[in-house]
Chains A and B, each alone.
Chain A
């Protein structure tokens, strides 16, 4: 462990970037000659990248910066011109000395402009791009018209409504009327592609993003196209066979309402959803996500792009791991010896008893699913009480893409705050605690977020304690026998940070209100620490984090405000 926290790997002197001068809509722009492609490999800069650098936008369906380029939707066609070269192989100049530009035209019909697909066409020095010219606009209009002729136009009942690129581009680039008077092509509806995905082939624009993602990113050749021409249809190789742990990413990737999530479809119009930046708690990778919630209920998680962690993807298991937050049996009341009580009473009693507890008679089991700030406060408390601390390991199976073998979201936080000894295996102290309870040396046990009966501290042992202080979210065998039961919050109900397995400190925001009397654990811990140690703490998460950054060497130099939306990597 290093004492120095780094906000980012120290940037080495960047190699000089070769630039190209081009014009975008008449404005001079200098862009790098090479830029990263979907795999991060440097390739000649494309028209689309150049226009984006120039502050413009190129509408597209099939292009995605993290997928191989397909070039099939043709929505990004852009009119362009290149400097004219004379028979002497030298540039032809205008009277004012500027280079003469030859606009690209159809070779067989020189009066008609010819567009290039901006997603795949590299720029060259002196090139002129016209992303807003009448010809470019006409090409877009025509593509959009084509995409809509066989589309069912069922926006009112479409789950994608509100986040549909057909809708969006129709507003920006479409026409008010359609000339199409023939009968539409009909294709399969509500196709069961796999356990989590439903496909409406009539809405599909055949951009193949789903196919490319599934094959090239998820490594599963499950999807393809069957039939031909206008009858082309996306299909799984066998009905229902689209089943890997990343299928739901295709729902995000699908620019239209063709691929929908069985979990989310028809649950909520997306424009009612409040979006809150958060982090996935299902494993130590810490994929960034957006919580979609309305009036206190979470309706979906969607991945939030963070190239340092998850790119634009997340796994299906993590994405669907939100329902427990809204479970009916959530712990909602403060219970003292099984009887409903209040925070003031309970915290007062606990503080008094902990303050009076003989040194070494208390043990703390703190889950590596608690936030770093909570673990920091628990460690503070434990230090004051001379308490042995530990956490519970949650081993799982890693995959090649995002899922890591550590199913705790904050193992690193538990180690960095000292809840878990960095030289020992997580959970090794649990046996020591069991021995202590058995021998009577440990009289008080503080448990945050774990059912310790599952981890060697059975109900018989817990019965020997004078006092069992438990904070949790859902009921279990440990909460059932708690002397003091303190209802805690899901991550989506509070703010805080997790540190992922690679040392990325990532903050998450509060999406929904806690249930019943439940309170954020850091808040009650703040009070407990204050009462027991007599030290003043911070009553805001910002202050608490900044205090932690000053006291925990690994976090030195960090500030809550500087974490940003995508986090900061510290050395571990």
Chain B
């Protein structure tokens, strides 16, 4: 029950927000899913990965292409966007079955993500190339999503359902296996847990969540561009997970809410964005490597993650 307090309280936000702040809040909801999905791999599995922007991008492109070229409504395309993200997560990590781990796997995910981004740029007929692809007006079961408020309620519903699903997943056998692999893969394998398969599964599930976030992003921004899913975006994803707290669901929410609005502030100063987020990562790695969630848990022990061992 505790879990639903936050989304219930959030229901009141449109009463206070103007359209711009509402847009930022909607973007926060998108990034909550991004951070939750990325954290599955980075925090829970403990595997460095660079494919997250690619998973985000493939979700956004799948949604945009199905809406623009095939005329499917938004509430339908959420599902293929999630599956496209899952498929990309699977492909990015499938070499794990051949024993590729740690840095090698991270480099494969980096290469995979860049190949995908290359295909957005050169697949002009489907993706619009560097000009991007405009996303038609979205609707959710007949309700037009043409105001920020309407989008907010739909996004809040999707995010709540998915975060609850991930929360349940982490408490299941699968979630514990994933955390066990992070803590000691060899010991986990000795318990007859097929570690390679669980690594691929974690990437696939992460891709599903992040792919859905991508479809929401496409609808919110109204245009998908290849440059939205490059290395500049990646540092934001890393920062959200690290600042929030590795392996903490509540932390992912905190990180996304804290950082979503910041890139907008740096738009007019070239280089500020990279310096700020690079600096932020350095400060957190040195001073608070467990992120804001660990700070919060110190004051409010109920927030401590149950299956997360402090190291």
A and B are interacting partners: no
B residues near A (Cβ < 8 Å) are none
